[in-house]
Amino acid sequence: MPEWRKDPIVNRWVIIATERGKRPNDYKEINEGKQSQECFFCEGNEEKTPPEIISYREEGTSKDKPGWWVRVVPNKFPAVNIQGDPYRRDRGVYQYMDGVGAHEVIIESERHITGMDEQTEKQVEEIIWIWRDRSLDLRKDTRLKYIQIFKNTGRVAGASLEHTHSQLIATPLVPEDVRREIEGMREYGNRRGSCVICDMIRQEISEKERVVIDSGHFISFSPFASRFPFETWIVPKEHQYDFTQIREDQVRDLAYVLRNSLGKLTSLIRNIPYNVVLHSAPVNMGDEHHFHWHLEIMPRLTIMAGFELGTGYFINPTPPEIAAQALRETEEIFPIGQRYEREVPQYV
């Protein structure tokens, strides 16, 4: 059983993921070579994954069989476990509790492709809908307080399989980074009487120099205080605190902005490793109306070294104004055969 453990100095919680079973000898060699030819996530290999939780599939096809286009399964090596009790216990100066949570994998295509930018906008819409479906379902478990959706692309960014996928980890705690965002947005709202991200959107649209894509419902831009080269945020122009408030017209627009933002990034820098994280309001804790949900795209072009790890400060060698200009001016390049189309139903 995994375990949540609390650092008694800075009150930071960590997951001791016993289910993953890494031992000291496992770290002796870091393999960056090409991955195995066999892919568990490709259509036809459904029996090689845990049983699916949900899938969008063709009518008349069966669970854990071919015929799907987006599929969600439990992580085979979960960091947390749905079993257990989030009751905090003391052991001398230390505090811990069962490793309660949910860890799921969203397989974003039945085809063996490596990035969301290689999908059609229609397929990206389907991925966004299934993110929403899982978020709404998991919050029914009142033990869970936060649902983190994220995507790792490239080994440097933590992806162990190259087949395009995202993940979801639901936790009984609100992550510290999210808590700081909540507190910062609340403090700004109390002081200014407005939402800090709404004000950021207005300023970015006015100044234009850090904007990557300005669409109907969403804007993507390089943040003024970017931590990483080519860091990009995607935010809804309408103030929404909870990702699941997203409407059908917004899903279509988010699919366009997300796919094209990633497409520009991967066209500009070939094989770029990156992480995508979705920050939304906590669940089962009362509404945080001052919060403004958003997606963060974080390329992994620099290494966190001693200064960053020791201070928590980031050093970014590429000004966001230069990064945004380069991304704006970059056209997507799609190899022949990757403009894959399918008529699929909408989920609302």
Q: Note the pLDDT tens digit of each residue in 183-226.
A: 999 999 999 999 999 999 999 999 999 999 999 999 999 999 99
pLDDT at 14: 82
Q: Note the pLDDT tens digit of each residue in 8-66.
A: 766 778 877 866 555 444 544 434 445 556 899 999 999 999 999 999 999 999 999 99
E strands of 128-283, at which residues? 146-153, 165-171, 211-214, 218-221, 232-236, 274-279
Domains of the chain: 18-22+38-77+101-328 (3.30.428.10)
Give the active site residue among 103, 163, 165, 292: 165
287 Cβ neighbours under 8 A, 6+ residues apart: 241, 242, 281
Please state, in angstroms and rounded to a whole number, the distance separating the CA atoms of residues 3 and 19.
10
pLDDT at 35: 52
Q: Name the more confident of 125 and 336.
A: 125
Tell me what the pLDDT averaged over the chain comes to. 89
Please state, in angstroms and rounded to a whole number, the distance separating the CA atoms of residues 27 and 141.
36
Please state, in angstroms and rounded to a whole number, the distance separating the CA atoms of residues 239 and 194.
10
Percent helix / strand / coil, the chain, rounded to 5? 30, 20, 50
CA geometry: angle at 289 spanning 284 and 294, to 5°?
90
Helix/strand/coil for 218? strand
Segment 164-176 shows an average pLDDT of 96
pLDDT at 37: 67
Range in 231-235, 254-258, 273-277, 310-314 the model is least confident about = 310-314
Q: Are 181 and 291 in contact (CB under 8 A)?
A: yes
165 is known as an active-site residue: yes
Segment 109-114 shows an average pLDDT of 95
pLDDT at 265 over 60: yes
pLDDT at 307 over 80: yes
DSSP state of 59: T
pLDDT at 36: 55
Assigned token pair, 331: 């056209």
Rg (C-alpha) for the chain, rounded Å, is: 20
120 Cβ neighbours under 8 A, 6+ residues apart: 339, 340, 341, 342
336 Cβ neighbours under 8 A, 6+ residues apart: none
In this structure, the number of other CB atoms found within 10 A of the CB of residue 87 comes to 10
